[in-house]
Amino acid sequence: MSLGDIGNLDYAILLCGRMAETRAFYRDIMKFPIEMDEKDWVSFRVGAARLTLRPRGVWSVCDDGGATPGAAAVQLAFRVAPPAVDACHRELLAHGVVILREPTDLPKWRHRTLFFRDPEGNIIEIYAEY
């Protein structure tokens, strides 16, 4: 086995400066089921993968360093069925989430996309293939 043989992303961890807000966002707005919920660690099930939140800072492996205000650390893309993009848009608006780009067709990619940010400033994309 070599690094080129890796075939699965099991989980992603978002480093948080606003842990409580970000936990509430993924639990209450995105409605991802919680697998583990502790003060400094919360994991959500998203299909076959986990999305985990933990506070940014010094821990047993290293110091995460500071976040740059206004800069996204990651972009997360969640695939849904085509009609769900517009339904998700309506739900996000009902929760007061600021939309970066309303549902848009991208023919080159054969995607319908919707972009917004989570409380940490990460870019979130909901998209459907067509």
pLDDT digits (tens, 9 = 90+) for 72-129: 889 999 999 999 999 999 999 999 999 999 999 999 999 999 999 999 999 999 999 9
Q: How many structural domains compose the chain?
A: 2
In a domain, 3, yes or no: no
Q: What is the DSSP letter of 4?
A: G
Would you tell me how many other CB atoms lie within 10 Å of the CB of residue 108?
A: 6
Regarding whether 113 and 78 lie in a shared domain, the answer is yes
Give me the helices (H) in 19-121, please. Answer: 19-24, 82-94
* Ramachandran sector of residue 86 (left: φ over 0; alpha: ψ -120 to 50; beta: rest): alpha
Regarding whether 81 and 124 lie in a shared domain, the answer is yes
In a domain, 68, yes or no: no
In a domain, 49, yes or no: yes
Q: Looking at the chain, how many residues does it have?
A: 130
Regarding whether 126 and 78 lie in a shared domain, the answer is yes
In a domain, 64, yes or no: no
In a domain, 66, yes or no: no
In a domain, 69, yes or no: no
Q: Which domain holds residue 128?
A: 74-130
* CATH value at residue 19: 3.10.180.10
pTM of the model: 0.91
pLDDT tens sequence across 37-47: 999 999 999 99
Regarding whether 124 and 81 lie in a shared domain, the answer is yes
